[in-house]
Amino acid sequence: MMKCPYCGSEMEEGVLVSRVVPEWVKKGEKKGTLLNCIKKFTHNELPAQCCVKCKKMIIDI
Ligand SMILES: [Zn+2]
């Protein structure tokens, strides 16, 4: 279990789900890099930890 770096609460484990693979695009740049999703038949999953209190999410890229 991961603790939230903002409030110290236990973060909820889960996945961010999307049909398309999300891309990280650095500020000021046009070209991005695809994030390392787990590919499923109809969607992609990106492992993530979520703090519902702070509304913050930590994702594995
Ligand atoms: Zn928090």
pLDDT tens per residue, range 7-54: 999 999 999 999 999 999 999 999 999 999 999 999 999 999 999 999
Question: How far, in Å, from the CA of 14 to the mean position of ligand 1?
Answer: 15
Assign 1 a pLDDT band (cuts: 50, 70, 90). Answer: confident
48 CB contacts (<8 Å, ≥6 apart)?
13, 14, 15, 16, 57, 58, 59, 60
Question: How far, in Å, from the CA of 1 to the mean position of ligand 1?
Answer: 13
Helices (H) and strands (E) in the chain, counts: 0, 6
Domain extents for the chain?
12-21+33-50
Question: How far, in Å, from the CA of 8 to the mean position of ligand 1?
Answer: 6
Question: How far, in Å, from the CA of 49 to the mean position of ligand 1?
Answer: 10
At 13 the pLDDT is 97
Q: What is the SS3 assignment for 44-58? A: EEEEEEEECCCCEEE
